[in-house]
Amino acid sequence: MGHFDVNQDRLDHNALTHSYAEDLTSTPRANQSLTDLDLSHNNLGDSGLKILSAALSNPDCKIQKLKLVNNNLRDYWAVDLVPALNTNLSLTDLDLSWNKLGDSTVQILPSALRNQHCKIQKLDLGHNAFTDSCAGDLASSLSTNLSLTDLYLGSNSFTDQSVHALRNLILNCTSLERIQLQENQFSPDVIKQLEMLEGCRSGLSVGAAGCANIYWT
């Protein structure tokens, strides 16, 4: 793949597999103007992510927004992506929704999210089958993050047992401006408790009832 003098590259819905990943990732290595990369709805899988992560670790990579929606990524993806997140200084928006990450991912991801160099502001982890088992680790890793403003955790499998961890996350992550928790398995009382937390900080939006509003652009 040659040099592209653009700031956005959309390669979503192209049936791309891991065999194309090396060519794809030559773009962020070679083009310092590329800031948005959308690889959603392909089939890169974990081997493709490994190659992409190597590109993201390159100091010349300037990608700010990366979408990997519905790419058949599983829990062990984090072993490869976390080092890239630890070294990348430009990435601010990361969309990993509609994959198969699962609870064990949250045991690996925190090291990157706690890193003082992590600049991620918008993080989408919706539709990934997360359960109460990972709520504590997730809250712990995000509570100290100073850059996160938007967090999407909708359409997972959190129940009322996660309310304490999610409450701590909302209260302690002081940079957080919006969190969406819709379409989990909360009781009406817990939904009310979570949404009442909006009053704890000026400008904070907490969505836990009904369908989530799509804010990712």
Considering only residues 215 and 103, tell me which one the structure prediction assigns the higher pLDDT.
Answer: 103
Instruction: Summarize pLDDT for 135-190 with one digit per residue, the tens.
Output: 999 999 898 888 999 999 999 999 999 999 999 999 999 999 999 999 999 999 99
Best CA proximity match to 195, nearest among 160, 168, 167, 154: 167
Instruction: Summarize pLDDT for 77-109 with one digit per residue, the tens.
Output: 777 888 888 888 899 999 999 998 889 888 788
pTM value is 0.86
Question: What per-residue confidence (pLDDT) applies to 176?
Answer: 97
Instruction: Summarize pLDDT for 58-75 with one digit per residue, the tens.
Output: 888 889 999 999 988 888
Pairing, β 8-10 against β 36-38: parallel
Phi then psi for residue 95, to 5 deg, are -115, 110
Using an 8 Å Cβ cutoff, are 57 and 88 in contact?
yes
Query: What are the structural domains of the chain?
Result: 101-217 (3.80.10.10)
Confidence of residue 76 (pLDDT cuts 50, 70, 90): confident
Residue with tokens 């909006």: 198
What is residue 34's three-state secondary structure?
Answer: coil
- Rounded CA-CA distance 89/209 in Å is 35
Using an 8 Å Cβ cutoff, are 148 and 172 in contact?
no
Residue with tokens 């379409």: 183
Question: What per-residue confidence (pLDDT) applies to 17?
Answer: 47
- Rounded CA-CA distance 30/22 in Å is 12
Best CA proximity match to 99, nearest among 70, 136, 141, 66: 70
- Rounded CA-CA distance 166/189 in Å is 14
